[in-house]
Chain A
Amino acid sequence: MNQKQRQQVQATVLENRQLCREHYRLVLGVADFAQTEPGQFIQVSCRPVEREDEISDDLQWDQQGRPEVCGEELAGRMALLRRPFSLAGRKQTADGVELHLIHRVVGVGTQWLSDLAVGERVGVLGPLGNRFELPRPDGMAILVGGGVGIPPMLYLAQRLAGRKAVAFCGALTRDLLPMTLLEGGTAGRVDAVEPLLNVEEFSRHGIPAVISTDDGSFGFRGFVTQALERYLDANAQAMAEAAIYTCGPEGMMKRVAEVAASRGIECQVAVERAMACGMGTCQSCVIRVRKPDPAVPPMAGKDWCYRLACTDGPVFKGSDLLW
């Protein structure tokens, strides 16, 4: 096992920029990183880096030869477990590899991340999880992201550059959209679904996008799933080889899976579960999945079983999920 598929490394913060009210783009630089695919995630240690490589420094011996141990006991609120984040992009540069994350500040770990300054070090581990299966060469890829589920769609868009694709992104309101809305680009009508090249992250790859906000402050007014349904109804003939990719709040993804199923379109869903290890050891991140053959293990005799979001997922077929 020389070619390691996953690794634990110290990354350097190259950029940490607030994108909108609660979302930040964090660009992490590493000298090298294993191959990654859209849909995969990394585990980020949201606490000061341990000086793992300098163990001897850990011991500060004073004159009497007694050690002054400097391991701090935890007092304040600090993340212990690593936090999982989808890859929102990856770039090869002259200096190494850039890993792009977009995160929303919801608690102690993401708060810590949002305070990072350029040049600071962060422990990352990965890549973890499975990947989105790309559509057939002529097939249309339909990306549906809601709020904090948008990041993996950006990485997928990068991989889909030059292919037939359209993106749907939804948020409550304009300043919760974690994307770069192009200056001078039109928002689109509140009552129409028209894919436009108005989001930098998608238009860069030639992919038009439909933005929806629940309050109509940008683009289509309503849920992203409503925009999706309208689009599918208007373009039914073009959907033969299509595949839908979705990530976002669970209610949204459920609805997207239903919409896809009712139209016979393949649907791949990237789920989120509370995780500890991220690599199949702790059994914490389970999701209920339908089994095609009840006789086959796991759980022989049952027509469902639990799967691990971290290793069997995070991408599942919409039709397999029992949520």
Chain B
Amino acid sequence: MADLSVELAGWKLSYPTMTCSGTCGYAFEYADFMDLSKLGAFVTKSITREERPGNEPSRIVETRAGMLNAIGLANVGLDRFLAEKVPLLKKMPCPVAVNVAGHSFEDYVQTCAAMNGLSCLSAVELNVSCPNVKDGLTFGTHPGRLKELTAQVKKVLPDKKLIVKLSPNVEDITATARAAVEGGADILSLVNTFTAMAVDIHRRRPRLANVTGGLSGPAIKPIAVHLVSRVYRGVAKNAGVPIIGMGGIQYWQDAVEFILAGASAVAVGTALFVDPAAPVRICEGLAQYLDKYKIGRLTDLVGALELPGDEPRKTPYA
């Protein structure tokens, strides 16, 4: 059988499929439905320094082939994370990354500093799609600020891999990707959700209490694949920084698209709500795809997409 293992900046995963932050809880929530040891890695809900109740409901609404969410980073906060969730994460049968969010530079730095010493964590993923309370500007949309944030966080995380999760709500994602790499990101993950809106046509009001929300699910997949391809070719490949691709992945075919476009691993979010065993099922499909084409290792497929003008590649069936 093909070798599905991947190495992300030295972080070894037995499988290429992970979970997306915010769609899989804090630890064992899906244990009844899938063998967690078959997950490449588990990524927690975003943790902030203070506990957060989150936004007023209604927080989600389904849209065609997708959904909007405006959860508002509802989470237990750092103290309760350490007291209640870390003991669970210690028992996880797969590698774990914690996702960290904040509303100031100090927030991020303090929360990340507390994560560096936790042996149950292999990596920290930065959710930079949050506004800074000081000026309301999102950390992840301005390259200069993102580079600064990444650099500050990197200093307090000497023992963990640092993943920077890029926001797609930018003019040029290669600019923010480059900024994250220059700031010291070990790995890039993309994409987070797209800012969007749904309207209640009877009340003539937004369907989310928060007015806008983040669009996720199959509807965003083609855009996410394009952004992964751009970041891979524009920044990540040359910099040697691996990409975790996400956005609408539901079937193994979706995962193959992302991997060909340049992702070294993939993460499943919204599809978990449809099938909580999706990552394992996708992995099985990937294995069959590789076997069928007699590709020995999944890593041989990363970025193997041939675009017009590329040096013709030897495709498996050429």
With a cutoff of 8 Å between Cβ atoms, the chain A residues found around residue B51 in the complex are 297-300
Task: Collect the chain A residues with CB atoms within 8 Å of residue B61's CB.
Answer: 274
Contacts known (A71-B251, A299-B53); A6 close to B274, Cβ less than 8 A = no
**A82→B65 CA distance, assembly (Å):** 12
Task: Determine if B29 is an interface residue (Cβ-Cβ < 8 Å).
Answer: yes
Stretch of B140-148, B172-180, B283-291 lying at the A interface? B283-291
B249-284 to A contact mask, C-beta < 8 Å, 1/0: 001110000000000000000101111110001001
Cβ-defined contact, B292 with A67, below 8 A: yes
Contact indicator B317/A1 (Cβ below 8 Å): no
A36-68 at interface with B (beta carbon < 8 Å): 45, 50, 52, 55-56, 58-59, 61, 64-67
CA distance A52 to B34 in the complex (A): 13
Question: Contact at B274–A45, with CB atoms within 8 Å?
Answer: yes
Contacts of B67 on A, CB cut-off 8 Å?
Answer: 80-81, 276
Give the contacting residue for B32; candidates A4, A74, A81, A299; CB below 8 A.
A4
B304 to chain A, nearest CB (A): 15
Contacting residues, chain B, for A286 (C-beta < 8 A): 54, 57, 59, 74
Chain A residues with Cβ under 8 A from B53's Cβ?
Answer: 298-299, 302, 305-306
Task: Give Cα distance in the complex from A283 to B218, angstroms.
Answer: 20
Taking a contact as CB atoms under 8 Å apart, the answer to whether A280 and B32 are in contact is no
Complex contact B281–A281 (CB within 8 A) = no
In the complex with contacts A64-B317, A80-B274, A7-B54 CB distance below 8 A: no
Instruction: Tell me which residues from 13 to 38 in chain B have a Cβ below 8 Å from any Cβ of chain A.
Output: 22-25, 29-33
Least CB distance, A287 to chain B, in whole angstroms: 8
* Chain A 277-305 interface 0/1 with B at a Cβ cutoff of 8 Å (1 = within): 11111111111000000000111101001
Residue B300 CB within 8 A of the other chain: no
1/0 per position for B60-94, CB-CB distance to A under 8 A?
11101111010100111000100000000000000
Q: Kindly state the separation between the CA atoms of A192 and B76 in the bound complex, as whole angstroms.
A: 51
Give Cα distance in the complex from A285 to B277, angstroms: 21
B289 touches A59 (CB 8 A): yes
A283 close to B71 (CB less than 8 A): yes
SS class of chain B's interface: helix, strand, loop or mixed? loop
For the complex formed, measure the closest distance between the CB of A61 and the CB atoms of chain B, giving whole angstroms. Answer: 7
Name which residue of chain A comes closest to B222, CB basis: A73
Contact check, A283 vs B59: say whether CB atoms are below 8 A apart: yes
* Number of cross-chain contacts by CB at 8 Å: 130
Smallest Cβ distance from A36 to chain B, in angstroms? 14
A55 touches B62 (CB 8 A): no
Residue A77 CB within 8 A of the other chain:
yes
Specify which of A6, A61, A276 lies most central, judged by the most chain B CB atoms within 10 Å of its CB. A276
Whether B23 pairs with A50 at a CB distance below 8 angstroms is no
**Any chain A CB within 8 A of the CB of B58?**
yes
| Complex Cα spacing A305 to B150, Å | 33
Which B residues are in CB contact (< 8 Å) with A74?
A: 64-65, 218
Question: Is A69's beta carbon under 8 Å from chain B?
Answer: yes
What residues on A are CB-neighbors of B29 within 8 Å?
279-281
Q: Contacts A277-B273, A297-B80, A298-B76 known; A81 to B62 CB distance under 8 Å?
A: yes
Interface size class of A (residues with CB under 8 A): 35 or more
- Whether B217 sits at the interface, judged by CB under 8 Å, is yes
A277–B250 alpha-carbon span in the complex (Å) = 15
Q: How far is the CA of A297 from the CA of B71 in the complex (A)?
A: 19
A137 to B223, CA, bound (A): 60
Taking a contact as CB atoms under 8 Å apart, the answer to whether B218 and A80 are in contact is yes
Say whether A230 faces chain B, with CB atoms less than 8 Å apart. Answer: no
Contact present for A8 and B275 (CB under 8 Å): yes
User: Which single residue of chain A is at the shortest CB-CB distance from B250?
Assistant: A71
Q: Which residue of B lies closest to A50 (CB)?
A: B275
Give the docked Cα–Cα distance between A66 and B317 (Å): 8
A65 and B317: CB pair below 8 A? yes
Residue of chain A at shortest CB distance from B61: A274
- Residues of chain A within 8 A (CB-CB) of B65 are 74, 78, 80
Q: Tell me the bound Cα distance from A284 to B54 in angstroms.
A: 9
Chain A residues whose CB sits within 8 angstroms of the CB of B60 once the complex forms: 274, 276, 282, 284
Taking CB atoms, residues of chain A closer than 8 Å to B270 are: 80, 276
Q: Contacts A274-B60, A286-B57: A281 and B275 contacting too (C-beta < 8 A)?
A: no
Max count, chain B CB within 10 A of own CB: residue among A5, A77, A284: A284
Instruction: Fill in one digit per residue for B174-216: 1 if any A CB lies within 8 Å of its CB, else 0.
Output: 0000000000000000000000000000000000000000000
CA A274 to CA B45, docked complex, whole Å: 20
18 cross-chain CB contacts under 8 A: A55-B284, A58-B251, A65-B317, A80-B66, A80-B67, A81-B274, A276-B270, A277-B23, A281-B24, A282-B60, A283-B71, A283-B74, A283-B75, A285-B57, A287-B57, A299-B53, A305-B53, A306-B53
Beyond the given A125-B276, A282-B71, could you list 18 further A-B residue pairs with CB under 8 A, ordered by the A residue number? A1-B32, A8-B33, A55-B284, A55-B288, A59-B288, A74-B64, A78-B65, A80-B270, A82-B273, A274-B60, A276-B60, A276-B69, A276-B273, A277-B276, A283-B54, A283-B71, A286-B54, A287-B57
